[in-house]
Structure 1
Amino acid sequence: MQLHSFFNSSASYRVRIALALKGLASDYVPVNIRAGAHRDAEYIDRVNPSAVVPALVDGEFALGQSLAIIDYLDARHPEPRLIPSEPTLRARVLEFAYLISCDIHPVNNLRILKYLDAVLHVTPEQKDAWYKHWIAEGMAGVERMLVRHGQGPWCFGGAPTLADCCLVPQIANAQRMGCDLTLYPLSLAAYRHAMEHPAFDAAQPNKQPDYLGS
Protein backbone atom coordinates (compact mmCIF):
# COMPACT_ATOMS: atom_id res chain seq x y z
CA MET A 1 0.00 0.00 0.00
CA GLN A 2 0.94 3.62 -0.53
CA LEU A 3 -0.24 6.51 1.61
CA HIS A 4 -0.16 9.87 -0.11
CA SER A 5 0.08 12.21 2.83
CA PHE A 6 1.18 15.60 4.12
CA PHE A 7 2.71 15.66 7.56
CA ASN A 8 0.54 18.48 8.88
CA SER A 9 -2.75 17.40 7.32
CA SER A 10 -5.09 16.31 10.10
CA ALA A 11 -6.99 14.08 7.66
CA SER A 12 -3.72 12.35 6.73
CA TYR A 13 -2.88 12.12 10.43
CA ARG A 14 -6.12 10.17 11.03
CA VAL A 15 -5.17 7.56 8.46
CA ARG A 16 -1.60 7.29 9.74
CA ILE A 17 -3.02 6.49 13.19
CA ALA A 18 -5.36 3.86 11.75
CA LEU A 19 -2.58 2.17 9.79
CA ALA A 20 -0.35 2.14 12.86
CA LEU A 21 -3.08 0.74 15.11
CA LYS A 22 -3.64 -2.09 12.64
CA GLY A 23 0.07 -2.70 12.20
CA LEU A 24 -0.18 -2.18 8.44
CA ALA A 25 2.90 -1.17 6.51
CA SER A 26 2.61 1.45 3.78
CA ASP A 27 4.95 3.41 1.57
CA TYR A 28 4.76 7.09 2.52
CA VAL A 29 4.40 9.35 -0.52
CA PRO A 30 4.72 13.04 0.43
CA VAL A 31 2.30 15.49 -1.15
CA ASN A 32 3.26 19.04 -0.23
CA ILE A 33 -0.08 20.82 -0.08
CA ARG A 34 1.62 24.06 0.97
CA ALA A 35 3.32 24.05 -2.43
CA GLY A 36 0.14 22.96 -4.25
CA ALA A 37 1.34 19.45 -5.12
CA HIS A 38 -2.18 18.12 -4.51
CA ARG A 39 -3.31 20.11 -7.55
CA ASP A 40 -0.78 18.59 -9.93
CA ALA A 41 -2.53 17.03 -12.92
CA GLU A 42 -0.73 13.72 -12.46
CA TYR A 43 -1.82 13.44 -8.81
CA ILE A 44 -5.42 14.28 -9.67
CA ASP A 45 -5.56 11.94 -12.67
CA ARG A 46 -3.65 9.01 -11.20
CA VAL A 47 -4.36 9.13 -7.47
CA ASN A 48 -7.10 11.41 -6.17
CA PRO A 49 -9.65 13.27 -8.32
CA SER A 50 -10.70 15.27 -5.24
CA ALA A 51 -7.26 16.97 -5.26
CA VAL A 52 -6.78 16.56 -1.51
CA VAL A 53 -4.81 14.42 0.89
CA PRO A 54 -4.76 11.74 2.05
CA ALA A 55 -5.09 9.07 -0.59
CA LEU A 56 -4.51 5.36 -0.16
CA VAL A 57 -3.37 3.21 -3.07
CA ASP A 58 -3.80 -0.51 -2.54
CA GLY A 59 -2.74 -2.33 -5.68
CA GLU A 60 -4.95 -1.02 -8.48
CA PHE A 61 -7.40 0.54 -6.03
CA ALA A 62 -7.02 4.21 -5.08
CA LEU A 63 -9.20 5.91 -2.48
CA GLY A 64 -9.39 9.41 -1.04
CA GLN A 65 -11.15 10.88 2.01
CA SER A 66 -9.85 9.81 5.40
CA LEU A 67 -13.04 8.33 6.82
CA ALA A 68 -13.66 6.29 3.68
CA ILE A 69 -10.06 5.04 3.84
CA ILE A 70 -10.39 4.00 7.48
CA ASP A 71 -13.68 2.23 6.74
CA TYR A 72 -11.94 0.40 3.87
CA LEU A 73 -9.07 -0.61 6.16
CA ASP A 74 -11.59 -1.90 8.71
CA ALA A 75 -13.28 -4.00 6.05
CA ARG A 76 -10.03 -5.43 4.68
CA HIS A 77 -8.13 -5.70 7.98
CA PRO A 78 -10.79 -5.92 10.70
CA GLU A 79 -8.54 -6.30 13.72
CA PRO A 80 -8.51 -4.16 15.67
CA ARG A 81 -11.83 -2.70 14.59
CA LEU A 82 -11.93 1.10 14.61
CA ILE A 83 -15.57 1.44 13.57
CA PRO A 84 -17.44 -0.81 16.02
CA SER A 85 -19.84 -3.42 14.66
CA GLU A 86 -22.37 -3.11 17.51
CA PRO A 87 -25.01 -0.74 16.09
CA THR A 88 -25.39 1.81 18.88
CA LEU A 89 -21.67 2.13 19.60
CA ARG A 90 -20.98 2.31 15.86
CA ALA A 91 -23.48 5.14 15.51
CA ARG A 92 -22.00 6.98 18.49
CA VAL A 93 -18.44 6.72 17.18
CA LEU A 94 -19.51 7.90 13.73
CA GLU A 95 -21.50 10.78 15.23
CA PHE A 96 -18.39 11.93 17.07
CA ALA A 97 -16.09 11.45 14.07
CA TYR A 98 -18.44 13.37 11.79
CA LEU A 99 -18.64 16.25 14.26
CA ILE A 100 -14.89 16.70 13.94
CA SER A 101 -14.40 15.80 10.29
CA CYS A 102 -17.50 17.53 8.89
CA ASP A 103 -18.15 20.45 11.24
CA ILE A 104 -14.77 21.55 12.65
CA HIS A 105 -12.10 20.55 10.16
CA PRO A 106 -13.54 21.82 6.84
CA VAL A 107 -13.83 25.48 7.90
CA ASN A 108 -10.27 25.61 9.26
CA ASN A 109 -8.23 23.58 6.79
CA LEU A 110 -5.41 25.04 4.75
CA ARG A 111 -7.37 25.90 1.62
CA ILE A 112 -9.90 27.89 3.64
CA LEU A 113 -7.18 29.77 5.51
CA LYS A 114 -5.40 30.51 2.23
CA TYR A 115 -8.65 31.84 0.75
CA LEU A 116 -9.10 34.13 3.72
CA ASP A 117 -5.59 35.47 3.07
CA ALA A 118 -5.40 35.61 -0.70
CA VAL A 119 -8.95 36.46 -1.74
CA LEU A 120 -10.70 38.08 1.21
CA HIS A 121 -7.50 39.77 2.45
CA VAL A 122 -8.33 39.41 6.10
CA THR A 123 -5.79 40.54 8.65
CA PRO A 124 -3.76 37.98 10.59
CA GLU A 125 -5.80 38.89 13.65
CA GLN A 126 -9.06 38.24 11.81
CA LYS A 127 -7.82 34.90 10.51
CA ASP A 128 -6.74 33.90 14.01
CA ALA A 129 -10.14 34.90 15.37
CA TRP A 130 -11.85 32.85 12.64
CA TYR A 131 -9.83 29.76 13.49
CA LYS A 132 -10.32 30.03 17.23
CA HIS A 133 -14.05 30.73 16.91
CA TRP A 134 -14.73 27.54 14.97
CA ILE A 135 -12.51 25.48 17.25
CA ALA A 136 -14.46 26.75 20.26
CA GLU A 137 -17.80 26.06 18.58
CA GLY A 138 -16.83 22.55 17.58
CA MET A 139 -14.88 21.50 20.65
CA ALA A 140 -17.76 22.55 22.89
CA GLY A 141 -19.88 19.97 21.08
CA VAL A 142 -17.12 17.37 21.30
CA GLU A 143 -16.83 17.89 25.04
CA ARG A 144 -20.60 17.73 25.59
CA MET A 145 -20.69 14.47 23.67
CA LEU A 146 -17.97 12.98 25.88
CA VAL A 147 -19.72 14.22 29.03
CA ARG A 148 -22.94 12.54 27.93
CA HIS A 149 -21.67 9.39 26.25
CA GLY A 150 -17.92 8.98 26.78
CA GLN A 151 -16.70 6.03 28.81
CA GLY A 152 -12.90 6.48 28.92
CA PRO A 153 -10.00 6.12 28.97
CA TRP A 154 -10.48 6.37 25.22
CA CYS A 155 -13.34 8.41 23.83
CA PHE A 156 -15.78 5.49 23.97
CA GLY A 157 -14.47 2.72 26.14
CA GLY A 158 -11.40 0.61 26.67
CA ALA A 159 -9.99 0.59 23.12
CA PRO A 160 -9.24 3.21 20.46
CA THR A 161 -11.80 3.81 17.75
CA LEU A 162 -12.30 6.12 14.80
CA ALA A 163 -13.36 8.74 17.35
CA ASP A 164 -9.84 8.83 18.80
CA CYS A 165 -8.31 8.83 15.32
CA CYS A 166 -10.24 12.04 14.64
CA LEU A 167 -9.88 13.70 18.04
CA VAL A 168 -6.10 13.52 18.33
CA PRO A 169 -5.24 15.38 15.09
CA GLN A 170 -7.88 18.01 15.80
CA ILE A 171 -6.51 18.76 19.25
CA ALA A 172 -2.93 18.73 17.95
CA ASN A 173 -3.82 21.33 15.32
CA ALA A 174 -5.74 23.45 17.81
CA GLN A 175 -2.76 23.43 20.15
CA ARG A 176 -0.43 24.36 17.29
CA MET A 177 -2.65 27.35 16.50
CA GLY A 178 -2.66 28.56 20.09
CA CYS A 179 -6.26 27.72 20.96
CA ASP A 180 -7.30 27.60 24.61
CA LEU A 181 -8.51 24.06 25.26
CA THR A 182 -8.86 24.24 29.04
CA LEU A 183 -12.65 24.15 28.77
CA TYR A 184 -12.50 20.62 27.34
CA PRO A 185 -10.99 18.43 30.09
CA LEU A 186 -12.46 15.12 28.90
CA SER A 187 -11.22 15.75 25.37
CA LEU A 188 -7.76 16.57 26.67
CA ALA A 189 -7.74 13.50 28.89
CA ALA A 190 -8.57 11.24 25.93
CA TYR A 191 -5.91 13.00 23.86
CA ARG A 192 -3.23 12.58 26.52
CA HIS A 193 -4.13 8.93 26.99
CA ALA A 194 -3.88 8.34 23.24
CA MET A 195 -0.49 9.98 22.99
CA GLU A 196 0.93 7.37 25.35
CA HIS A 197 0.08 4.68 22.76
CA PRO A 198 2.90 3.85 20.30
CA ALA A 199 0.60 4.04 17.26
CA PHE A 200 -0.55 7.57 18.05
CA ASP A 201 3.00 8.61 18.88
CA ALA A 202 4.40 7.25 15.60
CA ALA A 203 1.72 9.05 13.57
CA GLN A 204 2.63 12.51 14.85
CA PRO A 205 3.46 15.14 12.23
CA ASN A 206 7.00 15.70 13.48
CA LYS A 207 7.80 12.01 12.97
CA GLN A 208 6.92 11.94 9.28
CA PRO A 209 9.56 11.94 6.53
CA ASP A 210 8.20 15.15 4.97
CA TYR A 211 8.13 17.14 8.22
CA LEU A 212 8.87 20.80 7.50
CA GLY A 213 8.20 22.33 10.91
CA SER A 214 5.04 23.92 12.20
Structure 2
Amino acid sequence: MQLYSFFNSSTSYRVRIVLALKGLDYDYRPVNIRVGGHRDPAYVAEVNPSAVVPAIVTDDGVTLGQSLAIIDYLDAHHPEPRLIPEDPAERARVLELASLIACDIHPVNNLRILKYLQDKLGVTAEEKDAWYKHWVAEGLAAVERLLARYGSGPFCFGAAPTLADCCLVPQIANAERMGCNFDDYPKTMAAYRHAMALPAFAAAAPKRQPDFVQ
Protein backbone atom coordinates (compact mmCIF):
# COMPACT_ATOMS: atom_id res chain seq x y z
CA MET A 1 0.00 0.00 0.00
CA GLN A 2 1.18 3.51 -0.79
CA LEU A 3 0.21 6.55 1.26
CA TYR A 4 0.64 10.00 -0.24
CA SER A 5 0.86 12.28 2.75
CA PHE A 6 2.13 15.56 4.14
CA PHE A 7 3.33 15.45 7.71
CA ASN A 8 1.34 18.48 8.87
CA SER A 9 -1.87 17.76 6.97
CA SER A 10 -4.64 16.91 9.41
CA THR A 11 -6.45 14.85 6.77
CA SER A 12 -3.28 12.81 6.18
CA TYR A 13 -2.90 12.53 9.95
CA ARG A 14 -6.38 10.95 10.20
CA VAL A 15 -5.45 8.24 7.74
CA ARG A 16 -2.08 7.60 9.40
CA ILE A 17 -3.88 7.03 12.70
CA VAL A 18 -6.22 4.51 11.11
CA LEU A 19 -3.37 2.67 9.40
CA ALA A 20 -1.49 2.51 12.71
CA LEU A 21 -4.52 1.32 14.68
CA LYS A 22 -5.07 -1.45 12.15
CA GLY A 23 -1.39 -2.37 11.99
CA LEU A 24 -1.21 -1.91 8.22
CA ASP A 25 2.15 -1.42 6.52
CA TYR A 26 2.53 1.16 3.79
CA ASP A 27 5.06 2.98 1.67
CA TYR A 28 5.13 6.66 2.68
CA ARG A 29 5.12 9.00 -0.34
CA PRO A 30 5.61 12.62 0.80
CA VAL A 31 3.72 15.37 -1.02
CA ASN A 32 4.82 18.85 0.06
CA ILE A 33 1.68 20.95 -0.10
CA ARG A 34 3.58 24.04 1.07
CA VAL A 35 5.31 24.20 -2.31
CA GLY A 36 2.38 22.98 -4.38
CA GLY A 37 3.31 19.32 -4.65
CA HIS A 38 -0.38 18.38 -4.54
CA ARG A 39 -0.90 20.33 -7.77
CA ASP A 40 1.87 18.61 -9.69
CA PRO A 41 0.29 17.50 -12.99
CA ALA A 42 1.55 13.93 -12.64
CA TYR A 43 0.16 13.63 -9.11
CA VAL A 44 -3.23 14.98 -10.16
CA ALA A 45 -3.39 12.82 -13.29
CA GLU A 46 -2.08 9.58 -11.83
CA VAL A 47 -2.94 9.65 -8.13
CA ASN A 48 -5.44 12.23 -6.88
CA PRO A 49 -7.77 14.15 -9.22
CA SER A 50 -8.84 16.29 -6.24
CA ALA A 51 -5.30 17.71 -6.02
CA VAL A 52 -5.10 17.27 -2.27
CA VAL A 53 -3.58 14.95 0.29
CA PRO A 54 -3.92 12.26 1.42
CA ALA A 55 -4.25 9.56 -1.20
CA ILE A 56 -3.71 5.83 -1.06
CA VAL A 57 -3.05 3.15 -3.60
CA THR A 58 -4.06 -0.16 -2.09
CA ASP A 59 -2.46 -3.54 -2.68
CA ASP A 60 -5.45 -4.52 -4.80
CA GLY A 61 -5.07 -1.48 -7.04
CA VAL A 62 -7.74 0.83 -5.62
CA THR A 63 -6.75 4.52 -5.59
CA LEU A 64 -8.62 6.89 -3.29
CA GLY A 65 -8.04 10.55 -2.56
CA GLN A 66 -10.29 11.77 0.28
CA SER A 67 -9.56 10.92 3.90
CA LEU A 68 -13.05 9.82 4.93
CA ALA A 69 -13.43 7.64 1.84
CA ILE A 70 -10.01 6.12 2.52
CA ILE A 71 -10.91 5.39 6.13
CA ASP A 72 -14.27 3.88 5.19
CA TYR A 73 -12.53 1.61 2.66
CA LEU A 74 -9.89 0.54 5.16
CA ASP A 75 -12.52 -0.13 7.82
CA ALA A 76 -14.49 -2.31 5.42
CA HIS A 77 -11.50 -4.32 4.21
CA HIS A 78 -9.58 -4.46 7.51
CA PRO A 79 -12.33 -4.38 10.14
CA GLU A 80 -10.17 -4.92 13.21
CA PRO A 81 -10.40 -2.74 15.12
CA ARG A 82 -13.74 -1.46 13.85
CA LEU A 83 -13.66 2.35 13.73
CA ILE A 84 -17.04 3.03 12.14
CA PRO A 85 -19.60 1.07 14.19
CA GLU A 86 -21.99 -1.33 12.48
CA ASP A 87 -24.93 -0.50 14.75
CA PRO A 88 -26.90 2.21 12.90
CA ALA A 89 -27.34 4.54 15.87
CA GLU A 90 -23.73 4.22 17.02
CA ARG A 91 -22.50 4.64 13.44
CA ALA A 92 -24.54 7.80 13.00
CA ARG A 93 -23.29 9.26 16.26
CA VAL A 94 -19.65 8.68 15.32
CA LEU A 95 -20.22 10.11 11.84
CA GLU A 96 -21.98 13.12 13.34
CA LEU A 97 -18.92 14.15 15.34
CA ALA A 98 -16.45 13.20 12.63
CA SER A 99 -18.39 15.24 10.08
CA LEU A 100 -18.50 18.22 12.40
CA ILE A 101 -14.71 18.25 12.36
CA ALA A 102 -14.15 17.18 8.76
CA CYS A 103 -16.87 19.37 7.22
CA ASP A 104 -17.35 22.34 9.56
CA ILE A 105 -13.93 23.07 11.11
CA HIS A 106 -11.25 21.77 8.79
CA PRO A 107 -12.39 23.06 5.37
CA VAL A 108 -12.44 26.74 6.38
CA ASN A 109 -9.05 26.53 8.08
CA ASN A 110 -6.89 24.40 5.83
CA LEU A 111 -3.75 25.72 4.17
CA ARG A 112 -5.25 26.65 0.83
CA ILE A 113 -8.03 28.69 2.45
CA LEU A 114 -5.60 30.53 4.72
CA LYS A 115 -3.29 31.24 1.79
CA TYR A 116 -6.19 32.58 -0.26
CA LEU A 117 -7.24 34.85 2.58
CA GLN A 118 -3.74 36.25 2.86
CA ASP A 119 -2.48 36.21 -0.73
CA LYS A 120 -5.66 37.01 -2.67
CA LEU A 121 -7.88 38.90 -0.25
CA GLY A 122 -5.08 40.71 1.54
CA VAL A 123 -6.00 39.96 5.14
CA THR A 124 -3.29 40.62 7.67
CA ALA A 125 -1.54 37.90 9.64
CA GLU A 126 -3.51 38.98 12.70
CA GLU A 127 -6.81 38.77 10.82
CA LYS A 128 -5.92 35.35 9.45
CA ASP A 129 -5.08 34.18 12.97
CA ALA A 130 -8.40 35.53 14.26
CA TRP A 131 -10.23 33.74 11.44
CA TYR A 132 -8.60 30.43 12.33
CA LYS A 133 -9.28 30.72 16.04
CA HIS A 134 -12.89 31.79 15.50
CA TRP A 135 -13.81 28.70 13.48
CA VAL A 136 -11.93 26.38 15.83
CA ALA A 137 -13.81 27.85 18.78
CA GLU A 138 -17.16 27.53 16.98
CA GLY A 139 -16.47 23.93 16.04
CA LEU A 140 -14.97 22.72 19.30
CA ALA A 141 -17.84 24.25 21.26
CA ALA A 142 -20.15 22.04 19.22
CA VAL A 143 -17.88 19.01 19.77
CA GLU A 144 -17.96 19.68 23.51
CA ARG A 145 -21.75 19.83 23.51
CA LEU A 146 -22.00 16.55 21.61
CA LEU A 147 -19.63 14.84 24.00
CA ALA A 148 -21.46 16.27 27.01
CA ARG A 149 -24.73 14.85 25.69
CA TYR A 150 -23.67 11.59 24.08
CA GLY A 151 -20.03 10.86 24.86
CA SER A 152 -19.22 8.01 27.20
CA GLY A 153 -15.42 8.21 27.45
CA PRO A 154 -12.58 7.68 27.85
CA PHE A 155 -12.53 8.07 24.06
CA CYS A 156 -15.20 10.12 22.36
CA PHE A 157 -17.70 7.26 22.39
CA GLY A 158 -16.69 4.51 24.74
CA ALA A 159 -13.72 2.39 25.66
CA ALA A 160 -12.24 2.08 22.15
CA PRO A 161 -11.26 4.65 19.53
CA THR A 162 -13.55 5.35 16.60
CA LEU A 163 -13.45 7.53 13.51
CA ALA A 164 -14.47 10.40 15.79
CA ASP A 165 -11.18 10.17 17.70
CA CYS A 166 -9.22 9.78 14.45
CA CYS A 167 -10.64 13.11 13.28
CA LEU A 168 -10.48 14.87 16.65
CA VAL A 169 -6.80 14.29 17.40
CA PRO A 170 -5.38 15.96 14.26
CA GLN A 171 -7.75 18.91 14.64
CA ILE A 172 -6.62 19.52 18.22
CA ALA A 173 -2.97 19.08 17.25
CA ASN A 174 -3.25 21.72 14.54
CA ALA A 175 -5.20 24.04 16.80
CA GLU A 176 -2.52 23.70 19.47
CA ARG A 177 0.11 24.64 16.91
CA MET A 178 -1.91 27.75 16.06
CA GLY A 179 -2.14 28.83 19.70
CA CYS A 180 -5.82 28.15 20.33
CA ASN A 181 -7.23 28.06 23.85
CA PHE A 182 -8.94 24.88 25.05
CA ASP A 183 -10.11 25.84 28.53
CA ASP A 184 -13.78 25.60 27.57
CA TYR A 185 -13.55 22.05 26.20
CA PRO A 186 -12.69 19.69 29.09
CA LYS A 187 -14.43 16.61 27.67
CA THR A 188 -12.90 17.18 24.25
CA MET A 189 -9.42 17.54 25.69
CA ALA A 190 -9.84 14.51 27.94
CA ALA A 191 -10.65 12.37 24.90
CA TYR A 192 -7.71 13.88 23.02
CA ARG A 193 -5.22 13.19 25.83
CA HIS A 194 -6.50 9.64 26.26
CA ALA A 195 -6.07 8.94 22.56
CA MET A 196 -2.59 10.43 22.45
CA ALA A 197 -1.47 7.99 25.13
CA LEU A 198 -1.96 5.14 22.65
CA PRO A 199 1.12 4.18 20.60
CA ALA A 200 -0.85 4.22 17.33
CA PHE A 201 -1.91 7.84 17.78
CA ALA A 202 1.58 8.86 18.84
CA ALA A 203 3.17 7.08 15.87
CA ALA A 204 0.94 8.97 13.45
CA ALA A 205 1.91 12.41 14.82
CA PRO A 206 3.51 14.91 12.43
CA LYS A 207 6.89 14.91 14.16
CA ARG A 208 7.17 11.13 13.64
CA GLN A 209 6.84 11.33 9.85
CA PRO A 210 9.78 11.04 7.43
CA ASP A 211 9.01 14.40 5.79
CA PHE A 212 8.75 16.32 9.08
CA VAL A 213 10.44 19.71 9.22
CA GLN A 214 10.22 22.37 11.91
Task: Please report the TM-score for the alignment, with normalisation by the length of structure 1.
Answer: 0.99
1:26-37 pair list within 5 angstroms: 26-37=26-37
Aligned to 1:93: 94
Query: Aligned-pair distance for 1:212?
Result: 1.2
Query: How far apart in 2 are the matches of 1:84 and 1:3?
Result: 24
The percentage of counterpart residues that share the same residue type is 72
In angstroms, what is the RMSD of aligned CA positions? 0.5
Aligned to 2:187: 186
* Gap regions ≥5 residues in structure 1: none
Query: Aligned-pair distance for 1:73?
Result: 0.2
Aligned to 2:145: 144
Aligned to 1:109: 110
Q: How many residues align?
A: 213
Q: Give a deviation string over 1:137-161, Cα, whole Å, max 9, x none.
A: 0000000000000000000001000
Aligned to 2:120: 119
Query: How far apart in 2 are the matches of 1:190 and 1:145?
Result: 13
Task: Please report the TM-score for the alignment, with normalisation by the length of structure 2.
Answer: 0.99
Aligned to 1:44: 44
Query: Aligned-pair distance for 1:190?
Result: 0.4
Query: Aligned-pair distance for 1:74?
Result: 0.6
Query: How far apart in 2 are the matches of 1:212 and 1:107?
Result: 24
SS of the residue corresponding to residue 149 of structure 2 reads helix
SS of the residue corresponding to residue 98 of structure 1 reads helix
Q: Which runs of structure 1 show a deviation greater than 6 angstroms over 4 or more consecutive aligned residues?
A: none
Aligned to 1:79: 80
Aligned to 2:25: 25
Aligned to 1:7: 7
Query: How far apart in 2 are the matches of 1:175 and 1:74?
Result: 28
Query: How far apart in 2 are the matches of 1:65 and 1:195?
Result: 24
Which amino acid is 1:27 matched to?
D
* Gap regions ≥5 residues in structure 2: none
